[in-house]
Each structure stands twice: as C-alpha cells, then as structure tokens.
Amino acid sequence: MLQRDMTKAVELGLYGAAASRTNLIEIASRLYPLHPTVVPALVKLFSRFGQNERSLFSFLLSDEPFSLQTFAAQSPAADRLYRIHQLYDYARATFGHRLIVQSYRNHWNQIESVVESFPHDQQFEISILKTVAVLNLIDVPALVATDEVIALAVGGTDIETVTKAKLALKNLQRGKAVLYFRGAAGGYCLWPHTSVNLDRAYQEAIKAVVVPDRVSTVIHNELETRPLVARRHYIETGNLRHFSVMYVQPDDLAGALSEVDPADGRLLIALCETEAERETALQFARSAVIKKRDDVLVAVPQPLSGLASLVAEVQRWEWITQNVPELNHDEFAMEEATRQRAACKQVLEKRVQGYIGLRPVSYTHLTLPTNREV
C-alpha cells in the first residue's frame, strides 16, 4: 500500500520534478507509520514556520502532543498511518502561537476558525479541512491542494476512499461553502479570494513609516493621567488628598515645578528616551530643589527607546488601513489588517504600562508629607 501511495505521490509531483521515482518507491515501506504525502509537507512546514532541523527532531523524537512518537505509541496496523491532518494538529499545538503573530502572511486565524468551528462528528470532512489547511499554510507550487492530492493524503489509493474524498470535497465547496476552489493551479483554499496582498502592503508600510526617534510624544494617549488618591492618609485621618500626575521631558522637570497645580501633591514622571536622559532625571530627583518640596514626588522609569519598534509596528498597520484603498472592497483583508493593528496596539499598551504604569501598583503608602524619589 505504501509503495502504491508513494508512486502516486511521485506522479503528482509532491517530491519535485528531480525526485528519483525508483529510490522513493523503494524506501516507501520504511517510512511507516508516515504516509508518503507527509514527508514533503512536514519539511516545507518546518522550514517555513518552525526551526528546521530542531523542529524535525522534536517531531520525530519527542513526546510532544501529536508528535510521531505519540502516534507510534498506539497499536500498530497496516492502515494506521500518520497523515497530513495529524501534522496540522501537531503544528497547531507546537507553534500555533507563531502562526497567530504572522497571520497576515498565512491566514492562520481564518484557517483555525474554519477547522475548529466545523462539526466534530464529521471526522472525515475535518481530516480534509486540516489537510487543505496545511497545504494552504505551506503555499508552494509542488503541494497544491488539488482533488488528487487531497484524496491521496486522506485515503491513499483505495478507490472507495478516493471517491468518498472527492464527493466530500464537492460538498464542502458547494454545500457547506467552507472551501473555495481557485482553479487547477491554485487548488482548494479555506478562505475566499482576497485582492489585497497584505504582505506586500506591509513591506510598503515599512518604507513609509520609520521607527520614531522619540517615543514619548507618540505614546502620549496611552499614559495614565488620572490623579492618585493618598489612600492611607485618607484611612488614617479621614482627609481626602490627591496627587496630580504629570509626564515631563527630562529637560522640562525644573519648569514643571513652577506651574500652578490645585492638587495637594504632584507626581512628576520623567519620560526618558535614553540612559543619558535618565541619569539627568535622576540627578534632578536627588537635587536640593526637590528635597525642599514636600508636595512633589519624582518618578524616573527606564528609557523608552525599547518601545520604538512596537510603536513603529502600530503605526505601520495604521498606515495600511488608511493608505491601501483596496481594503475598502475586500472585507476579509480589512478584518485581518484591523486585527493586526489592534493586536499590536494591545501589546504596546501592556509594554507602556510595564514601563511607566501606575494603576497596577498599590498606593496605600502614598502620604502627603513624605518626599522621596520613586
């Protein structure tokens, strides 16, 4: 059976035009329990999304979920083979997080959504969808998701199973409308045609949006400016006192002291871009001018230059949504670009809070007469 399936795989060009038909058919039985269609798929999958040899050895030798070792632990049978749809489960469990990050390049969110939302009692159809998913992810001319390739991957060369697979493909395309056929050259796909190449749009955004020299002016909207209440002072005395929050460039710290502020106290946060600016802010926080002010606290966070690449990433996706007019006519591509922008913005917000966030910290120790450097 494995030799027949390998013969068909070679005829379909899965191993490339230069592959030795005789040698591949000869070693086919030694690939057990791997089905012949899995080998070219896993090589391409690991080289594109994994870590090449490291991912391959992990797949072959580790006890990770859905790995070859886990599969081989089952009772052996001649027709029990590790197929492409099992490779999908391994990829999802092992490096699905990396696929999510670059979903605009591989449509992983759409792929996973279709597969996971399909009725779980229709296992044969799910195996077809997972097979198409892996071939779509790989996206190489030699491994196009055609009727013949999918039928071979899920059922081998058994005539009855091949017929069943082709009927299921028609139903998934026309009846359930979860597969889209892009012609003989494109094969089946799990998402509708998109007129926007987001990968190319992203490359254009890289050229159009440069990494900002100063991050502080860009992240201004992400900064927490609500006053801070001195809770312990209120609990112990019954008097409500609050500190205003001001974000200041290191060179403007001295000027900020002269500003009129109706609050009971003031928290000055220096927005330092470099280590040199941070040192300047620290010297000011330790100066005699500040020591004389019992109503002022100075906070000096780490330099913000580490956020520059994240800021640029958010700006690039904003540029794409605003400067690629084709998105207005492509709902799928617009949803993906919007999702990427929101995801990048969420990461940036968390990192900003990690640098200079105020709310996660307990301020029960904030008292009015104490002056210290934060």
Tens digit of pLDDT for each residue in 226-257?
Answer: 888 888 888 889 888 888 988 999 989 988 88
AA identity, residue 74: Q
**Closest Cα partner for 167 from 118, 125, 123?**
125
Residue 115 contacts residue 130 (beta carbons within 8 Å):
yes
Look at the alpha carbons of 36, 38, 43, 48 in this order and tell me if their dihedral is positive or negative. positive
CA distance 9 to 31: 14
> Which two tokens mark 8?
């068909």
Look at the alpha carbons of 48, 52, 58, 59 in this order and tell me if their dihedral is positive or negative. positive
C-beta contacts of 189-194 below 8 A and 24+ residues apart:
189/132, 189/136, 189/145, 190/107, 190/110, 190/111, 190/114, 190/115, 190/129, 190/132, 190/133, 190/136, 191/107, 191/110, 191/111, 191/114, 191/136, 191/332, 192/332, 194/330, 194/332, 194/333
> Which two tokens mark 235?
């609990």
* pTM exceeds 0.85 for this model: no
Residue 270 contacts residue 278 (beta carbons within 8 Å):
yes
- Give the phi and the psi of residue 94 in degrees, each rounded to 5: -95, -50
Highest average pLDDT, of 21-35, 170-184, 252-266, comes from 21-35
Of the pLDDT bands very low, low, confident and very high (cuts 50, 70, 90), residue 365 is: very low
Q: How many CB atoms lie within 10 A of CB 238?
A: 7
> Which two tokens mark 317?
């996706």
Q: How many CB atoms lie within 10 A of CB 288?
A: 6
Q: Per-residue b/e over 172-211, b at no fewer than 16 CB within 10 Å?
A: beeeeebbbbeeeeebbbbbeebebebeebbeebeeebee
Residue 73 has pLDDT above 50, yes or no: yes
**Closest Cα partner for 243 from 226, 222, 228, 260?**
228
Residues 6+ apart with CB under 8 A from 70: 63, 64
Tens digit of pLDDT for each residue in 186-223?
Answer: 889 998 766 678 888 999 999 999 888 888 888 877 78
Residue with tokens 């913000």: 304
Tens digit of pLDDT for each residue in 124-133?
Answer: 999 999 999 9
For residue 248, give Cα distances in angstroms to 227, 235, 256, 296, 298: 15, 30, 7, 13, 10
